Amino acid sequence: MHANDCTPNKGAYCPDTILPRPKRHHVSFTLAVLFALTFLFPASGPVLAAPVELADAVVTEGDNNSAPNTGAPDTTSSDEHTSAAQSAKSQSGTPKPSDTAPTNPAPMQDSQNGSADGTKADPAASPNKPRKIELVTTEWPPYSGEDLTDFGLSSSTISATFAAADIETHITVLPWRRALQAFHTDPDIDGVFPVYKDRENIDDVLLSAPISFSPVGFVVYHNQLFDWKTLNDLQDMSIGVVAGYANTSAFDFMVATGKLRTVEANDDLTLLRLLRTGRVDVAVMDKLVMEYLLDSYREFHQVIPSYRFHETALANKGLYIAFKNTAEGANLRQIFNYELGLASCDNGHECVSR
């Protein structure tokens, strides 16, 4: 193609100068042509540049919008790097929370009590906390009783637990059935204790954490041959029970269906007397209650060895406070459980979330 034949408006390539094809045997002329072509048509591939100064390459710490260093050659001049780095700093500003992880993450929120440090909030700090509560119990030494020190073991534990929350506890001792009636009908009564978890109408109350545990079993008098493995072994015996007391679900069911024959008494002291006179064969009783009554009443001192608590226990039952199923009752239960848990931890026991 001759230079005069070039027509730019038809899309042809028109160099300013058409160079003749170099001949192979003219080496010097060939070199000259190559130099001219390099000057007229520079290469478009990357070329190595001098390393960028560290100060120009530093980006604000935590800015993840900057491209990672892949090791590719840098084709930018030093001046261009400085300008680009300054522009990146001015545009990036403060990193977004989604871009970087906080150096001091906020503490986890407690799911139950909403404390900011992950520990349970003290419910006793609530402005709804009462100054004084009214509880009813019954004569059941050593756990509760009118003439016992601090009204008995359970009463002492309850009073001390609420005192830790600056709540005064007033306790009234009544016969058991009257205590239950007062709890259900008197609006001034906040709770009744000690109750078993499987007592009747349990769904209409709020139970606390267990105050303690009651080993319940069978007491016999002058009967060293007595033994039992299942409740069916008791079907031919007269069994003494305290009226209104719940024992175990299986035992109470067999009594209700007539498979077990029981004799009711007003209290455990009367049961011990019925055993001594032979009016009942065995009696359902708490082991600590039996031991306390035998030690406390002189009438039994000469015959204490004749009473025996059978080694096969009927149950080891938890003792609870029953609160009313109201907002006030729920608040009292929460306060009691919280303070009781702290007391257990202080005494070296395992801390358990209630």
Examine residue 16 and state whether it is found in any structural domain, yes or no. Answer: no
Instruction: Please state, in angstroms and rounded to a whole number, the distance separating the CA atoms of residues 297 and 269.
Output: 9
238-242 and 261-265: which strand pairing? parallel
Per-residue pLDDT of the chain (354 residues; tens, 9 = 90+): 444 444 444 444 444 444 444 444 444 444 444 444 444 444 443 332 333 332 333 333 333 333 333 333 333 344 444 444 344 444 444 333 334 333 333 333 333 344 444 455 666 566 678 899 999 999 999 999 999 999 999 999 999 999 999 999 999 999 988 999 999 999 999 999 999 887 555 568 999 999 999 999 999 999 889 999 999 999 999 999 999 888 999 999 999 999 999 999 999 999 999 999 999 999 999 999 999 999 999 999 999 999 999 999 999 999 999 999 999 999 999 999 999 998 865 544 444 433
Predicted pLDDT of residue 199: 56
> How much is the pTM?
0.60
**Do 208 and 329 sit in the same domain of this protein?**
yes
How many domains is the chain built from? 2
Asked if 219 and 287 sit in the same domain, the reply is yes
Q: CB-based contacts of 354: which residues, under 8 Å, 6+ apart? A: 209, 337, 338, 340, 341
Range of the domain at 182: 123-212+317-346
Whole-number pLDDT of residue 201:
53
The rounded distance, in Å, linking the Cα atoms of 278 and 239 is: 11
Residues 261 and 336 in one domain: no
pLDDT value for 346: 52
- The pLDDT, as a whole number, for residue 64 is 38
The CATH number covering residue 150 comes to 3.40.190.10
Indicate if 165 and 278 belong to the same structural domain. no
